Chains A and B, each alone.
Chain A
């Protein structure tokens, strides 16, 4: 056993070492971080002078914005036609069901509360700019097959498939319109409350989208609730899923929570002022003011 002890392994290591290649000048390598030296070409065939610092100093480089080539910019790119009325159309920046599910899974969005534009913008992962005629969120179908959350959702634009994906899991969805003044308050609540002005009264939708926001098939917020429940059943039959009974859900109260057509924040009425410093809500006492915000 003494022969198989540490003495033998030492011998083995030494013989191995003898056979291994030696470090010589021929097999030395530079550091990985070592910067490669740039050899400037010289003479008559010196190549391009663009990268040569001396030439840059002399100012022989092409002017800023020079594109090069014989095909000018305006012929290289396809024509972009004039889109009539584009500056007046309502824009709805997209947000996918995949992102929504991901933010719920990561705990960024709490599905125990109704989810609306305020919640989405408060994640700071979704932004709208009312000055760019953004009128809210367009919930897209991406990731609808893996959507599992049971939520009370309020969006501004969506498709039938998305509605089916949300309702299949026992959730509810509403399509609601907000005017720019309300969106200004909703997309950045902190800045809005820092201005110290009352919560605005939500305006009614314009005529060119009134039918959409009153359509029970699109779960419009102005639609008859009875028609909406009927449309829920119809959609379940169309897509072939079993519609869970919301009335028997333990979160029934949360799932059926809706805003008034004049309301832009849950639990806050138009005309109220929220003070973040004192953590108070100020309500107007004057009947004229109350009437103005109520009507």
Chain B
């Protein structure tokens, strides 16, 4: 067995190896030696492997007997890679076996070596890619009953409305919007009808306010003129003398107003008395 020039194709693997000691390659069922896989030292190989692979100079490659008696010899590295005679002779690709198997011209199923290959997604992809030949149970394609229960529960929790519920909500929304629009249109129409009158009233109010302002202004001007006449000079409205004058004038005006009120009251009472008198005289004179 010419293995003296054997090159170790893969020295280390970045991924985690599957815990299972058996490795599947096509139709062959191989038994990888656990002692070889566990041996960390490169120089120490157990005697059992030495017997089956006497000429192996490489410490990482050990020969493991296969199950059938007449099956060809197969080599398993410490990392669990499998080499047969044909691959040793031909394959110079330096690819990992599980990568090489997936190539189109090789067209083999990749070995199950890693934990992720036991997942549901991987099994589905395997079936999609290799069909019935993958050996995967097609039942993996569909969600399990628990998953369906979880999904329906989630849909229920999300409160996804039925078509009828959606329709009702949309209709309600639309009707509310239409109602609001209609109210607004009515309001606008009613307001438009009285717009001219409103504008007229507004202008009237404006004019009145303006007139009031002007009257106030004239009144103040008049007071100032009077103060000027009295004091003999143009007086500042903040001046103390002007303020005193103003107070005096206001007091006089108040007095005048009071007097006028009194007079009016008297006139009123007089008028009432006279009217009473008149009525009394007429009543008295009536029957007389």
Taking Cβ atoms with an 8 Å cutoff, the residues of A that contact B are: 193-198, 204, 207, 210-211, 222, 271, 273, 275-278, 280, 282, 284, 286, 288-289, 292
B128–A193 CB distance below 8 A:
yes
B261 contacts the other chain (Cβ, under 8 Å)?
A: no
| Contact digits for B107-136, partner A, Cβ 8 Å, 1 yes 0 no | 000000000000001011111111111000
Question: Are the CB atoms of B142 and A210 closer together than 8 Å?
Answer: no
Check A289/B148 contact, CB under 8 A, given A210-B166, A273-B141: yes
Return the chain A residue nearest B132 by Cβ: A278
Which chain B residue shows the least CB distance to A293?
B142
CA distance A196 to B174 in the complex (A): 43
**Once the chains are docked, how many angstroms separate the CA of A196 from the CA of B163?**
30
- A196 CA to B166 CA, complexed, in Å: 33
Q: How far is the CA of A288 from the CA of B139 in the complex (A)?
A: 13
> B143 at interface (Cβ–Cβ under 8 A)?
yes
A289 and B125 CA atoms in complex are apart in Å by 20
CA distance A275 to B127 in the complex (A): 8
Interface residues in chain B, defined as those with a beta carbon under 8 Å from any beta carbon in chain A: 121, 123-133, 138, 141-143, 145, 148, 151-152, 161, 163, 166-167, 169-170, 174
State whether A195 touches B128 (Cβ < 8 A).
Answer: yes
CA distance A276 to B58 in the complex (A): 44
Can you give 22 A-B contacts (C-beta < 8 A)?
A193-B128, A195-B121, A195-B125, A196-B124, A196-B125, A196-B128, A196-B141, A197-B124, A204-B163, A207-B161, A207-B166, A207-B169, A210-B170, A211-B174, A273-B141, A273-B142, A277-B130, A278-B131, A282-B138, A286-B145, A288-B148, A289-B142
Contact with B128, one of A194, A284, A288, A289 (Cβ below 8 angstroms): A194
Contacts of B133 in A (CB 8 A): 277
Q: In chain A, what residue has the closest Cβ to B162?
A: A204
User: In this complex, what residue of B is CB-closest to A205?
Assistant: B166
Nearest-neighbor residue (CB-CB) of B143 within chain A: A289
CB within 8 Å for A292 and B148 given contacts A210-B166, A211-B170, A282-B141: yes
Q: Which residues of A contact B174 (CB under 8 A)?
A: 211
Q: Which 8 residue pairs are nearest across A and B when measured between Cβ atoms? A: A196-B124, A196-B128, A277-B131, A278-B131, A273-B141, A292-B148, A194-B128, A289-B142
Residue of A nearest to B171 (CB): A211
Given A193-B128, A194-B129, A196-B128: A292 and B141 within 8 A (CB)?
no
Known A-B contacts A196-B125, A196-B141; the reply to A292 vs B151 at CB < 8 A is: yes
Q: Contact: A288 with B169, CB < 8 Å?
A: no
Measured CB to CB, the closest approach of chain A to B67, in angstroms, equals: 29
Q: For the A-B complex with A210-B167, A277-B128 known, give 4 more contacts whose Cβ atoms are closer than 8 Å.
A: A207-B161, A222-B163, A273-B142, A275-B128
The answer for the CA separation of A271 and B148 in the assembled complex, in Å, is 12
Least CB separation from A274: chain B residue: B128
**How far does the Cβ of A186 sit from chain B's closest Cβ, in whole Å?**
17
Q: In the complex, A197 Cα to B128 Cα: how many Å? A: 9
**Residue of A whose beta carbon sits closest to that of B124:** A196
- Report chain B residues within 8 Å CB of A271: 142
Name the residue among A196, A211, A289 with the largest chain B CB count within 10 angstroms.
A196
A282 CA / B137 CA spacing, docked (Å):
12
Question: Could you tell me the distance between the alpha carbons of A99 and B248 in the complex, rounded to whole angstroms?
Answer: 97
Of all chain A residues, the one with the shortest Cβ separation from B128 is: A196
Nearest B residue (CB) for A204: B163
> How distant is the Cα of A204 from the Cα of B166 in the complex, in angstroms?
10
Cβ–Cβ < 8 Å partners of A196 in chain B: 123-128, 141
A286 to B124, CA, bound (A): 18
Residue of A nearest to B167 (CB): A210
> CB-CB < 8 A to A194: which residues of B?
125, 128-129
Query: How distant is the Cα of A276 from the Cα of B138 in the complex, in angstroms?
Result: 14
Closest CB in chain B relative to A102 CB, distance in Å: 34
Known: A210-B170, A275-B131. A198 touches B141 (CB 8 A): yes
Q: Across the interface, do B145 and A288 meet the contact criterion of CB distance under 8 Å?
A: yes
Task: For residue B89, give the distance in angstroms from its CB to the closest CB of chain A.
Answer: 31
When the two chains form their complex, are residues A195 and B166 in contact, meaning their CB atoms are under 8 A apart? no
* A85 to B190 alpha-carbon distance, docked (Å): 38
> B124, B130, B141, B161 — which one has the most chain A CB atoms within 10 A of its CB?
B141
- Given the complex, which residues of A lie within 8 Å of B138, measured CB to CB? 273, 282
Bound complex: CA of A292 vs CA of B128, how far in Å?
Answer: 22
Q: Give the complex CA separation of A195 and B132 in angstroms.
A: 15
Q: What residues of chain B lie closer than 8 Å to A198, measured between beta carbons?
A: 141-142
- Whether B170 and A207, one on each chain, are in contact in the complex, defined by CB atoms closer than 8 angstroms, is yes
Report B-chain residues with C-beta under 8 Å of the C-beta of A210: 166-167, 170
* B151 proximity list for chain A (CB < 8 A): 292
User: In whole angstroms, what is the CA distance A275 to B130 when docked?
Assistant: 9
B148 to chain A: closest residue by CB:
A292
CA of A197 to CA of B133, assembled, Å:
18
The answer for the CA separation of A207 and B128 in the assembled complex, in Å, is 36
A242 to B122, CA, bound (A): 56
B170 — which chain A residues lie within 8 A by C-beta?
207, 210-211
Bound complex: CA A191 to CA B129 (Å): 11
Q: What are the residues of chain B within 8 A of A278 when measuring CB–CB?
A: 131-132
Bound Cα distance from A273 to B138, whole angstroms: 9
How close is B138's CB to chain A, nearest CB, in angstroms? 5
CB closest residue in chain A, given B122: A196
CA distance A210 to B171 in the complex (A): 11
The CA-CA distance from A210 to B108 in the complex, in Å, is 49
